[in-house]
Structure 1
Amino acid sequence: MTTEYSGGSDPKRIMELLWGAPERTRRGPKPRLSVEQIVAAATAIADAEGLAAVSMRRVAERLGVTAMSLYTYVPGKAELLDLMLDRVCAETAKPDDVPGGWRPRLELVAREAWALYLRHPWLLHLATNRPVLGPNLIARYDYELRAVDGTGLTDVEMDLVVQMVGDYVHGAVRGALAAATLPVDSGKTDDEWWAELSPLLEKVYDADRFPVATRVGAAAGQEYSAPLDPARAFEFGLARLLDGVAALIERR
């Protein structure tokens, strides 16, 4: 799927849309729609069909209006993508009231990001190297930083830790979503795939040549009853990642 990029919108107009600047004076009948309705419709399309399916025309069809009428609310797709990104950022829970110090708070940050990607897989195809700083996105960044505030880390280290956790979740959830959709995309379950491959592999595989892979692969396959277990891998990796943050904090 083609990657889309945030931050390509008209700066002045997107700031007005994101931060609730006074509505422009409109002549004629009362507006039929709101920006929130348009963004919600676009998000629903992306959730169901992917980011590539989102267009001003498709959103207009969903809302029962003409595509041209949408441009009086949102200038174009670039602004729409930025609004969608900021809108879904409001869904993540804030870790301020989580007891137990920085670790459970940062763990919640990771789990909320994981859940957000699962609800909105199209986020994986929206690059945010130049994020438009809307109120929900900034609020999310603020409470993610608060998870490690007061730990002795420098401000730059706090930013890097939050970025590291986000990058980890992004990579882990990509594999999880690919595994989840593979049976549908391929038309085969994991068991069906293995039943077809196994007899062919046995004809060429030499266990003595790959002793460690044979032993570990057999143990993992028996444990997971599948080629891999993305959720378990996420939990294991997150724990090790937080162990590393703990070591950094202890050195401070």
Structure 2
Amino acid sequence: MPSDSSEQGQPGRSAKAFGLSDADDLGESPDRPAKSRSRMTLVALLIVLAAAIGLLTLSRWKDAQLSTERANSGLRHPAVGEPLPELHLEPLVGTETTVELADVKGQVVLINYWGTWCPPCRVEFPHIVELSERFGDREDFRFLSVSCIAQLGGDTSRLQSDTAAYLEHQNVDFPVYSDIQGISRWALLQAGRSDSFAFPTTVVLDRQGVIQGVWVGYASGYEQGMGNLVDRLLDASAEPAASESAGAK
């Protein structure tokens, strides 16, 4: 018996027979999967970007913490809090005056031991120059630059010529001293109960000749700690003087 073509096969007609895609039949747009993938990609990129920003922020915070630790490291030296037993510096370049401990009493003092032969000293040198210029106008501040050779004793004339040439190359004209016999360095070692000396070494004394900071070697941030300490000591020294002046009036 012949089948009715209008009945047969009708349930099997696909959506395409009506000009529709399968996606249309399901009520979906043909490009919806592509849009979803784009959104997922965008979200992933945003997550990666946020993570990168977080890591960068953490890195900068750690760098700031490290810089602060370096700046303050000089305050933890074992010689801090001890009086400097002795200071004896001979004139080397730009001065003819010997400096003894008694000559700097009543002043905040920054002593920098360095050498033209010493790579870390050369890196530190511009920062030390900046500190000397920053506080140089203060009568209650004294900067003592001490050029040294690697070993005690040695040729003073060679040290003098090398130092003078280096200062000229750096366009610097402050007075520089020597510690050929190591008297001043040995005094610092005694105060810190140590038996080894490294270059550069920078010492800050208060008005009473007490060691308040010692930075051994050089790392970025040391100069910040030196400057902060000198500032603090000068401010502390100025307060009693201001009070006495006000009382006299």
TM-score (normalised: structure 1): 0.22
Q: Which has the higher contact order (CA 8 A, sep 6+)?
A: 2
TM-score (normalised: structure 2): 0.23
**Structure ID, larger Rg:** 2
